Structure 1
């Protein structure tokens, strides 16, 4: 059963300066909503250079803005080296505003960055708020270490801006896992708007199958976008080189943003080890994770949701700088018995990592730590909330039930 809407519109913003996490999260929510509501259209504004490499369901589309890259030191630069960063930001801001004016959304969902990259969404928020659009800020379960987040947000008076613009704040995790604003002096208005919807469950998409799924049991090693994933892959390759008894089939996904020099080095070394297979990218990561015996990852939000959704034993080796988001998530998940964890300095020891990889194939899946720790109801809750909002629109007739 689906509920029918008449030309309801949701606009989503995904700044995408490093990796694929923001776009993949927006796409997951969009696909879930159009699956639940006929007549609903979703448009995603994305800064990802490979936004077009993914498949989109009917009534989900995307608009790209000029790409900006976040460097390892936390600074930004234009993807087009000959274009000044400020000029790129002006173009992005203009495209975002023009898209909002043309699309006229009922709901605007902003992923993670309350005012967008360098404040590029603030003007659009002002415009949409004045015309009565429902404004939603979506937060990961973990944003960053409190002292880092506070230092970043204080410069822009961010918490007050959230209170000023947004009607609600969705936290994409359960309240007993982690509070993304812990340690900050949060205005009472923002606290009242926070809704912990739960983790976003993933499923294997319908359609053509991935050609990269091995025919035998395999460990999957994934770095997400790959821009900062070379150390993880290098550690895995080192472990296989140093311990000849490590023979389990392993599929390594480098990620599309891994620098070319590091990619070439790791491919050359991996090709000398029979049980290692390396690919650059697959737009059906859900299928690769679903088919895996176990997963080794850095523990970004999307990969963590996929580990829970497909109930896979996992070893998380988190990034610890410039953000501590992955570290905090991995520590909390390890405390709950959901995953195993190694710090990067531990992973750099080939024999220590080899031992962890051998244990991983015999590890119990996350569900055995207790179903109460999974909490994968985020998409269901979001769908219910959106349906209630769209029901209340005065300019549209009530929702009706129609058969599939």
Structure 2
């Protein structure tokens, strides 16, 4: 079996890890896979068992600066150790392919370890293919010099770009203005989605014996570093909804929400026994399959869950106030297609949210399985099987 090293670094949330895990799980059907994970451990999140997981000393961003948490080592010491581990693992594994998630379109703060890694592979194993794995919307509007850097890095080191979107929704040329300058092969894989499965968890266990006439609302905000205001507003809107709409709310704060903010939410909900607050659940897809409404941010994985389950959804695209418009862009396109409702963060209030929830209930659930290709992880594995064996692409090119 050919060997693939898959590098994943999540710096603030956990979306990159969720998407990468789904891809890696499918790659393991055909390859010997080494999954390099560079962020902090997430309690309750299970990494694919069919692969060898290589955990780098964890590093992540807080307020725009690297941190290593309560590690006894400094940031610089951890950076140096990570760089050495990556080279050592290359020598041990001798990969046929290296996949870097989101790099070089982002992760430029990690050039200290990624450039030595790809340089080493080019020097010692020139036949090793280097591949970039990229979500549908890059997000940040890059400055011209940064776009040039991206093109230079792609053209110098990379053989292939896997763009994880359905071309009917978003093409790579929509996402990157200088797409024509990139020489590597570019493939639209379809969306990387956790596809719904038969629910084995008893309904009562998920929703605490909520009656058939009780509206079931699931709320999630990804990793939890942003989006606290969405959950706070939802809790406050519950008092308004309760006047005419029996409901139960399941809130998942995300593993990275600061403890003081979680405590604040629990205090707000302390007098409402219809609201349950948890940190993380591996059963989010099951909750979305059985909920009447999902309330969330507009990150890639959550919106893919909305598409795959067809749940009625209200999306609040947080995070575009400065330069990152990823969530806003994706949310607007989905709403224009009639697949979700949304509230602009500036318009978020308990009254507006409660009204949106009531109106959303009158909409039918959707079946999006034929509208978009949601088999992106499987398609990625199938394409790489062909690409690495014969260099012949079998998916559509830009």
Q: Could you say whether these structures have the same fold, taking a TM-score greater than 0.5 normalized by the shorter chain as the test?
A: yes
Q: Which residue of 1 aligns with 2:289?
A: 290
Q: Does 1:55 align with 2:46?
A: yes
Matches of 1:188 and 1:324, distance apart in 2: 22
Q: Does 1:350 align with 2:342?
A: no
Matches within 5 A, 1:147-226: 149-150=142-143, 153-154=146-147, 157-179=149-171, 182=174, 184-186=176-178, 188-190=180-182, 193-204=185-196, 209=201, 213-214=206-207, 215-216=209-210, 218-226=216-224
8 Å CA contact 1:139, 1:180 repeated in 2: no
- Verify the 8 A CA contact 2:137 2:175 in the aligned structure 1: no
User: Is this contact kept in 1: 2:21–2:48, CA < 8 A?
Assistant: no
Give 1:33's match in structure 2, choosing from 13, 18, 27.
Answer: 27
| Alignment deviations for residues 55-103 of structure 1 (CA, whole Å, 9 cap, x no partner) | 344422322222223234x443332376433333222222222222222
Does the aligned pair in 2 maintain the 1:205–1:284 contact within 8 Å?
no
State the match for 1:11 in structure 2.
5
**TM-score scaled by structure 2?**
0.85
Query: Tell me, what secondary structure is at the counterpart of 1:218?
Result: strand
1:305 partnered with 2:301: no
Matches within 5 A, 1:106-121: 106-114=96-104, 116=107, 117-119=109-111, 120-121=113-114
Unpaired stretches in structure 2, ≥5 consecutive residues: 392-398
Residue 396 of structure 2 is matched in structure 1 by none
Partner of 2:120: 127
Q: Is the contact between residue 221 and residue 250 of structure 1 (CA under 8 Å) also seen in structure 2?
A: yes
Question: Partner of 2:376 in structure 1?
Answer: 378
Summarize deviations over 1:360-385 as a string: whole Å, max 9, x none: 233223437x933x221312321221
Q: Is the 8 A contact 1:108 1:136 kept in 2?
A: yes
Corresponding residue number in structure 2 for 1:402: none
CA contact (8 A) 1:47 1:66 kept: yes
Partner of 2:90: 100
- Number of the residue aligned with 1:77: 67
Q: Which whole-Å deviations, capped at 9, do the CAs of 1:188-214 have from their partners, x for residues lacking one?
A: 352652211111131357998599621
- The residue correspondences of 1:309-388 to structure 2 (distance < 5 A) are 309-319=308-318, 320-322=320-322, 323-347=324-348, 349-367=349-367, 371-372=370-371, 374-388=372-386
- Alpha-carbon distance between aligned partners in 2 of 1:9 and 1:52, rounded to the nearest angstrom: 28
Provide closer, same or farther for how the CA distance between residues 208 and 124 of structure 1 changes in structure 2, counting only shifts above 3 A.
Answer: farther
Contact 1:346 1:353 in 2 (8 A): no
Cα separation, partners in 2 of 1:307 and 1:272, compared to 1, 3 Å: same
1:293 shift after superposition: 2.3
Could you say what the CA RMSD is over the residues aligned between the two structures, in angstroms?
Answer: 2.7
Structure 1 52/212 Cα, relative in aligned 2: closer, same or farther at 3 Å? same
Counterpart residue number, 1:142: 137
Match of 2:236 among 235, 238, 243: 238
Indicate the residue corresponding to 1:45 in structure 2: 36
- Report how many residues are paired: 377
CA 1:388–1:361: 2 relative to 1, 3 Å: same
Counterpart-to-counterpart distance in 1, 2:367 and 2:197: 22
- Which runs of no fewer than 5 residues in structure 1 stay unpaired? 1-6, 394-404
**Structure 1 pair 141/193, CA: closer, same or farther in 2 (3 Å)?**
same
Alpha-carbon separation, structure 2, partners of 1:41 and 1:51: 24
Indicate how the Cα distance of structure 1 residues 99 and 271 shifts in structure 2: closer, same or farther if over 3 A, else same. farther
Whether contact under 8 Å (2:312, 2:360) holds in the other structure is yes
Q: Distance in 1 between matches of 2:362 and 2:98?
A: 44
Greater shift in the superposed pair: 14-23 or 181-190: 181-190
